[in-house]
Amino acid sequence: MRDDVVIREADAGDYQGWLPLWEGYNAFYGREGETALPEAITRQTWARFLDGAEPMTALVAEREGRLIGLAHAIRHRSSTRLADVCYLQDLFTLPEARGRGVARALIDAVCRLAKATGCDRVYWQTHQTNHTARALYDKVAEHKGFIVYGRDLPM
């Protein structure tokens, strides 16, 4: 990664720079237009990052005063470990930042933060067709072979 990129925790003043990254991340996974997340989810997610009582953290990658990447992490208990674990839920960089070490730096920063907050594992998932990201993930972590299922519940 280039020396002019800074990885840091997001702060309240980052919302306008974070929002296009968040929208880009969601668009990548098909959540745009008619399928976009409701604005209330975006507002609540951002508020959680800023609430010190929440186990959620947003990291941003910044170059020359512009946000070029994000990573969102959630610390939680595990039934198979004594220490907490950290779920790297969202990772996204602008297209022009890709291939420059920004995503790797964000992953490394999440790992440092997780360790500093008592976690002994960081894990994440991606779509099977996300070959670009998987090429990086195969270099920095071990694919454990799990397949993820989800079931939305009616409210």
Report whether 101 contacts 84 (CB < 8 A).
Answer: no
Structure confidence at residue 17 (pLDDT): 98
The stretches in the chain having pLDDT less than 50 are none
pTM of the model: 0.95
Task: Say which amino acid occupies 78.
Answer: S
CB-count burial class (<10 Å; 0-12, 13-18, 19+) for 84: middle
Report the C-alpha dihedral over residues 100, 103, 109, 114, rounded to 10 degrees: -160
Q: Output the pLDDT for position 1.
A: 58
Write down the pLDDT at residue 3.
Answer: 75
Residue 77: per-residue pLDDT: 98
Domains of the chain listed by start with CATH number: 6-138 (3.40.630.30)
